[in-house]
Amino acid sequence: MSQPSTENSASKPVTLRSIVKSYDGKTAVVKGIDLSVAAGEFLTILGPSGSGKTSLLMMLAGFELPSSGEIRFGDSDVSRLPPHKRNIGMVFQHYALFPHMTVGQNLAFPLQVRGYDQVEIARRVAWALELVRLAGVESRRPAQLSGGQQQRIAVARALIFRPELVLMDEPLGALDKQLREQMQEEIARLHRDLRPTVIYVTHDQSEAIALSDRVAVFDSGRISQIAPPRELYEAPASAFVATFIGENNRIPAKAVDLCPFARFVIPGDRFVSAVPIGIETKGADCCVMVRPERLHFLACQQELANSIDAVVTGVTYHGDSIRIRAEITGSTTELISRQANDGQRPVPRIGEPILLGWRTEDARAFPNTAHQHSANT
């Protein structure tokens, strides 16, 4: 079935200028956000609880007004417009379907309030159900559908009037792991097919990495870094981002030399090297970070630039990979190494001494004064 044509179907860019939000007039939960989202882009706002991401989404939707600053959709300032005048689609975590209405009636509702005639409503409802691969369920009520089906109907309802902007607030949070992965694929497919501008809020790092063109990492009301997912993971700009996006080993260190790759002394008085970020002076207390999959067993790898003697403290079998916990010899600093299970390498035993290593370009070092959080905050 062909897509409905409408004068409002074109995606629009979104621009935020110096957005501040305070609920009590004293403490800002969003602190001067400047952000530009391209037309048709899929941007995810990622951050821990209390970082300001949901407050920003509510301002974009019009449910909250900014304390100061400007929100523009295309050339229009919508900062003070009510939600029903912003031409946005919303998808919530708990579906927000009307339980007393059928699926067809739920999908028709946003078209009825916009004044579409019955012929066009019927055509769009059929198109939307086909879009989310649920044709034939229009006479059922939401309670007769699975959680995954209900969320697909919620997505279809947000897209049915071809909005200029789609906002999604933790839309997969109520689903189990398998359904979340299936819905990630569905949302990615719908974005590829329709190219709406999407702003998506989540605290799930893997979800953000899988879906987004870019990710804005929020920390205490500010954007700590905004970049494509691969850049965030491979080249975090701060210790907070490095810790929040994925898993990272953290090795206490002291800077010895800064150029071109920095050298550090770590527990056990061993010298190692890493890419320095924000380290300005020799002798500075630092933290060297290296991803578990980049921390290799030297017994099974070619010689690497950096190596550490360690003792195995735990081994976990994950089927496709092996996860090794080890302590640096002579210290209590724990490291995690995760290696693909290729059936070729021996699995060390608890208490066994091992040699771990990494390439210099695979490790980054940050000053200990950098703002840091746990990914579970």
For 143, 238, 339, the CA distances from 316, given in Å and listed in that order, are: 40, 30, 11
Contact between residue 63 and residue 78 where contact means Cβ atoms under 8 Å apart: no
pLDDT digits (tens, 9 = 90+) for 330-346: 899 999 999 888 777 77
% residues pLDDT > 90 (the chain)? 69
Contact between residue 243 and residue 374 where contact means Cβ atoms under 8 Å apart: yes
Give the pLDDT mean for 24-36: 94
pLDDT attached to residue 273: 94
For residue 123, give both structure tokens.
């055509």
Tell me: pLDDT of 108 over 90.
yes
pLDDT attached to residue 82: 93
pLDDT attached to residue 234: 93
| Interhelix angle 147-159/177-194, nearest 10 degrees | 20
Least confident span in 77-81, 219-223, 368-372:
368-372
pLDDT attached to residue 377: 31
Give the pLDDT mean for 98-120: 94
Tell me: pLDDT of 2 over 60.
no
Nearest CA to 373 among 19, 51, 104, 112?
51
pLDDT attached to residue 375: 34
pLDDT attached to residue 302: 66
Strands 88-91 and 165-169, by their bridges, are parallel
HSE-CB for 81 with a 13 A CA cutoff: 15
Q: What is the 3-state secondary structure (H, E, C) of 181-233?
A: HHHHHHHHHHHHHHCCEEEEEECCHHHHHHHCCEEEEEECCEEEEEECHHHHH
* Average pLDDT of every residue of the chain: 89
Domains present along the chain, CATH in parentheses: 14-239 (3.40.50.300), 247-367 (2.40.50.100)
pLDDT attached to residue 301: 62
More confident residue, 148 or 302: 148
Cis peptide before 83 (omega within 30 of 0): no
pLDDT digits (tens, 9 = 90+) for 274-333: 999 999 888 899 999 999 999 998 766 667 899 999 999 999 988 888 999 999 998 999
Task: Report the distance separating Cα 294 and Cα 124, nearest Å.
Answer: 49
Q: Quote the distance between the C-alpha of residue 89 and its chain's center.
A: 20
Contact between residue 12 and residue 39 where contact means Cβ atoms under 8 Å apart: yes
Least confident span in 4-8, 83-87, 356-360:
4-8
What φ, ψ does residue 142 adopt, rounded to 5°? -50, -35
- Neighbouring residues of 339: CB distance < 8 A, sequence distance ≥ 6: 293, 296, 297, 300, 321, 322, 324, 345
Tell me: pLDDT of 5 over 50.
no
pLDDT digits (tens, 9 = 90+) for 243-263: 999 899 999 999 998 876 789
179 pLDDT band (50/70/90 cuts)?
Answer: confident
Nearest CA to 286 among 299, 267, 303?
267
